[in-house]
Structure 1
Amino acid sequence: MRRTVAVVTAGLRQPSSTRLLADRLAEATRRELERLGAEVEIETIEVRDHGHDLVNNHIVGYPSEELERVLGKVARADGLIAVTPTFTTSYNGLFKMFVDVLDDTALIGKPVLIAATGGTARHSLVLDHGLRPLFSYLRATVVPTGVFAGPEDWGATGSTGAAGTTGSAGAAEAPLARRVERAAAELAREVDRRDPPAPDDPFESPVPFGGLLPP
């Protein structure tokens, strides 16, 4: 069976640790789904590439053709990986703008893996105090393990630790790798146990004329 996983990453720079974490989660999820017998397609969405369209959507009330295509990828995906940098103890504004323009029903029952990056381990609270409530409100199925990555998780000390002991970047990243694998396995299991999303029928629930008018 073919499965699609959408990856939404809201880093502001290129390259970014947010995109790096998103790619690791996507690859680990791919491996798990393939182990379960699925053919896997990863759809990565860099939110920064759609910043202007997001602002326009909020102002005029409807998406551009390109943004509508991207939002459709999320709605049609079997699972979602959502990764944001942490700004002022929460997800960044770009990430929230993207979530705000999703259809109200796009994430109902959809398995979601939440992840974040930040400059200090204290920002890991964003997972349970910011991202988990957000996606629970949207009636998504959020997997138990959220993944946070701070500077220490990327093996920034090189081959020598802070105390002068010998170590390696790989050893420094081992805890992060374990979290990534555990979260990916949880997402893959949730995706595998569900039927693929039904294709949208634009004539099933037409938008009332009054709903097309700006507020």
Structure 2
Amino acid sequence: MTMTGRLRIVTVSAGLSKPSSTRLLADRLTEAAGRELAAGDRKADITVVELRDLAVDIANHLVTGFPAPALRDALAAVGGADGLIVVTPVFAASYSGLFKSFFDLVEPDALSGKPVLLAATGGTARHSLVVEHALRPLFSYLHALTLPTAVFAATDDWGTGADRHAGGLPARIERASGELARLLSGAPGTGHPSGAGTPEPAVAGQKGREGREAGELDDRDDTDEVVPFEQLLANVSANGR
């Protein structure tokens, strides 16, 4: 990727219905990232991979080892992208089988160092941690750079009330897409996209991290001395416990 060339963003949507809230979220994230890049005088070529249309090809490739032309093009687009936006519905407290099957076919090093915006949809905000306990480990295994902010959209998030507070879905979409755009354009302020530390999922009703964003220090002390287990055991024995 050069600083003067057009960026290539690939959005992967694993929604099964048509229309689907998964594809709707994918489109909103893609549009927001495009706006952010345009505001910084960067242009992007957008490719949307709709896994629903590739389901049979994915299954055939898994058992034969030979991709159909449409699937081959989709895998090549993912491998050649500068950044990815991936969105899956939540099935059985995890990503969908179709979503996982597609990324099982991606070459092991194809996503190495590639920025990935994680997103998911579900019926209730109780499923929001799927992006952290399922999606983030998957893309970390693939050596991708997962962005600090992940977006989860529950059914209630699509109502009009979502626009009324800073933690609403539109605000979370703008925040995550802004991180992707800044990272792709080389601008500072994206935090640690590799997922260092414990990233915070952007979910419905989430209170913002106003303190840290205002520059307040975390009250944890990373320099605390680690006490060996043997010493702790000796202290317990000395106290007669």
CA contact (8 A) 2:162 2:170 kept: no
Q: What SS does structure 1 have at the residue aligned with 2:168?
A: helix
Is 1:190 matched with 2:190? Answer: no
Q: Superposition RMSD on alpha carbons, in Å?
A: 1.6
Q: 1:173, 1:51 → 2: CA distance?
A: 37
Is 1:171 matched with 2:199? Answer: no
Q: 1:172, 1:21 → 2: CA distance?
A: 19
Q: 1:50 maps to which residue? A: 54
Cα deviation for residue 191 of structure 1 reads: 1.2
Cα deviation for residue 189 of structure 1 reads: 1.3
- Mark the runs of 5 or more structure 2 residues left unpaired by the alignment: 188-241
Q: 1:121 maps to which residue? A: 125
How many residues matched? 183
* Paired residues for 1:199-214 under 5 Å: none
The alignment-based identity, stated in percent, is 52
* Paired residues for 1:33-72 under 5 Å: 33-72=37-76
CA contact (8 A) 1:153 1:173 kept: no
Q: 2:88, 2:162 → 1: CA distance?
A: 23
Q: 1:135, 1:170 → 2: CA distance?
A: 30
Cα deviation for residue 91 of structure 1 reads: 0.3
Q: 1:173, 1:154 → 2: CA distance?
A: 15
Q: 1:22, 1:66 → 2: CA distance?
A: 20
Match of residue 6, structure 1, among 7, 10, 30: 10
Q: 1:28 maps to which residue? A: 32
- Counterpart AA for 1:29: A
Is 1:147 matched with 2:151? Answer: yes
Cα deviation for residue 172 of structure 1 reads: 7.6
Q: Residue deviations 1:60-110, cap 9 Å, x none?
A: 112112211111111111100000000010000000011000111110000
Is 1:108 matched with 2:112? Answer: yes
Is 1:95 matched with 2:88? Answer: no
* Runs of 4+ that moved beyond 2 A: 168-174
- Counterpart AA for 2:58: L
Q: 2:87 maps to which residue? A: 83
Higher relative contact order (CA 8 A, sep 6+): 1
Q: What SS does structure 1 have at the residue aligned with 2:119?
A: strand
Q: What SS does structure 1 have at the residue aligned with 2:132?
A: helix
Cα deviation for residue 171 of structure 1 reads: 3.1
Q: 1:135 maps to which residue? A: 139
Cα gap change, 1:31 to 1:47, in 2 (>3 Å): same
Q: 1:73, 1:89 → 2: CA distance?
A: 28
With normalisation by structure 2, the TM-score equals: 0.73
Cα deviation for residue 170 of structure 1 reads: 4.2
Q: What SS does structure 2 have at the residue aligned with 1:8?
A: strand
- Counterpart AA for 1:180: I
Higher CA-based Rg: 2
